[in-house]
Amino acid sequence: MSDPHDEALASRLGMWVFIGTELMFFGGLLFAYMMARLAHAPGFAQASRHTDIVIGTANTVILLCSSAAVALAAEVAQRGAHHLARLALWLTLLLGASFMALKGLEYAHDWQQGLFPGVGVQLGQLGQSGIQHEQPLEGAQLFFMLYYVITALHAVHLLIGMGAILWLLAHESSHSIDTHVRRTEITALYWHFVDVVWILLYPLLYLIDRSTP
Amino acid sequence: MTAILRALKDEANAEVRRATAMIGLTLLVLLALVALTCWASYQHLGPARASAGLGIAACKIALVAWFFMQLRHAQALIVVALLIAMATMSLLFGLSATDYAVRSPAKSDYQTPQQIAPFFTKGHR
């Protein structure tokens, strides 16, 4: 019979090593963003001013709340409050679904305003008299290419996290309490990592060039 | 939310209450930092705007890692695994940045893609 402490450490370490590999994955994309932004600063500034700051901020708040909810689930499950832990996991799931719904809405708005890389594209912004277009500077389309790749990959990671939480809730009664508590903790770690990636993306995609003329 | 508060009332012992309060407090600080970074992005900070945005993001990440991801209770082995991952990433960033820094910039053609002439025209059909 293996020691439960060793098992807990092994699963925790396994998830941290996985998070390490994910750091390399998103790190490469963020490096590409950084280099492209240095090479095409005016185009990136112009393009990033067209992203939807209201939805971006709402999604940041939603993800931070979901991280708090899943952290609560992991903490209270360890202390025997299993009903509360289950409710916190459902809340996390609900917040994750809200994030995805808002992201979908944002993509739809972006598409309507022509914020998509392609031939002869013009950047649109919803004003008082409908959508006003402006000619993209060099690099603006590259910004949107990176924006879609990075945010879509982030959304895929979030979907995987939601799937893991659903699985956890569905199989709660088929495992021992110790196993369930450990799995809740590991799933929470993964969810926090997805949140950490968004925390970095939020200023890079929505904020940094907001005040530039 | 009401169900969570009711469950908290039913199941809470001192430890659960302490853990919940700590998570709630961390969340409040995180939300305050979101408000701060949002406000700062509309201020004319010049070249410091990138540092301000990324600096506040780094604070938020530290809070999430320390309090939510339990790094404050992490065993040495986990800290070592994380440090190795970060050191490897820094090395890759450093090598790639050095490559970009010493290479003369080549104009890429992805900004103005060439329109390919339609293959099927009336004459071909």
Three-state SS sequence of chain B: CHHHHHHHHHHCCHHHHHHHHHHHHHHHHHHHHHHHHHHHHCCCCCCHHHHHHHHHHHHHHHHHHHHHCCHHHCCHHHHHHHHHHHHHHHHHHHHHHHHHHHCCCCCCCCCCCCCCCCCCCHHHC
pLDDT of residue A62: 98
**Using a CB-CB distance cutoff of 8 angstroms, which residues of chain A are in contact with residue B50?**
208
pLDDT of residue B109: 55
Beta strands in A63-199 (DSSP E): 123-127, 130-134
What is the rounded CA–CA span in Å between residue A39 and residue A157? 29
pLDDT of residue B105: 64
What is the rounded CA–CA span in Å between residue A114 and residue A112? 5
State whether the Cα torsion B99-B104-B106-B107 is positive or negative: positive
What is the rounded CA–CA span in Å between residue B37 and residue B41? 6
How long, in residues, is chain B? 125
For residue A112, the distance in angstroms to the closest alpha carbon of chain B comes to 21
pLDDT of residue B31: 97
Dihedral (C-alpha) A23, A147, A203, B28: value to the nearest 10 degrees?
Answer: -70
Phi and psi, residue A134, nearest 5°: -140, 155
For residue A150, the distance in angstroms to the closest alpha carbon of chain B comes to 17
Cβ contact B78–A31 (<8 Å): no
DSSP string, A177-193: HHHHHHHHHHHHHHHHH
Cβ contact B16–A210 (<8 Å): no
Closest CA to B70 of A184, A144, A166, A82: A184
pLDDT of residue B123: 55
Closest CA to A104 of A66, A127, A112: A112
CB-nearest to A17 from B44, B65, B81 is B81
> What is the average pLDDT value for chain B, to the nearest integer?
84
Answer whether A64's CB lies under 8 Å from A98's CB.
no
User: How far does CA A167 lie from the centroid of its chain?
Assistant: 20
Cβ contact A211–B93 (<8 Å): no
pLDDT of residue A113: 83
B16 Cβ contact list (under 8 Å, min separation 6): A75, A76, A79, A81, A84, B8
Closest CA to A35 of A47, A26, A44: A44
Q: Which of A79, A141, A198 to mutate to test the interface with B (most CBs of B within 10 A)?
A: A79
CB-nearest to B16 from A24, A81, A119 is A81
Closest CA to A190 of A115, A96, A111: A96
pLDDT of residue A115: 84
Q: From A26, which residue of chain B is nearest by alpha-carbon distance?
A: B89
Give pLDDT < 50 ranges for chain A.
Answer: none
Cβ contact B111–A81 (<8 Å): no
Closest CA to A21 of A157, A116, A203, A142: A157
What is the rounded CA–CA span in Å between residue A70 and residue A185? 9
What is the rounded CA–CA span in Å between residue B89 and residue B95? 10
The residues in A 74-113 lying below 8 A from B, measured between CB atoms, are: 74-76, 79-84, 87-88, 91
pLDDT of residue B45: 82
pLDDT of residue A102: 97
Give pLDDT < 70 ranges for chain B.
Answer: 7-8, 10-12, 105-125
Cβ contact A199–B23 (<8 Å): no
**Using a CB-CB distance cutoff of 8 angstroms, which residues of chain A are in contact with residue B102?**
none
CB-nearest to A35 from B10, B40, B100 is B100
Q: From B29, which residue of chain A is nearest by alpha-carbon distance?
A: A64
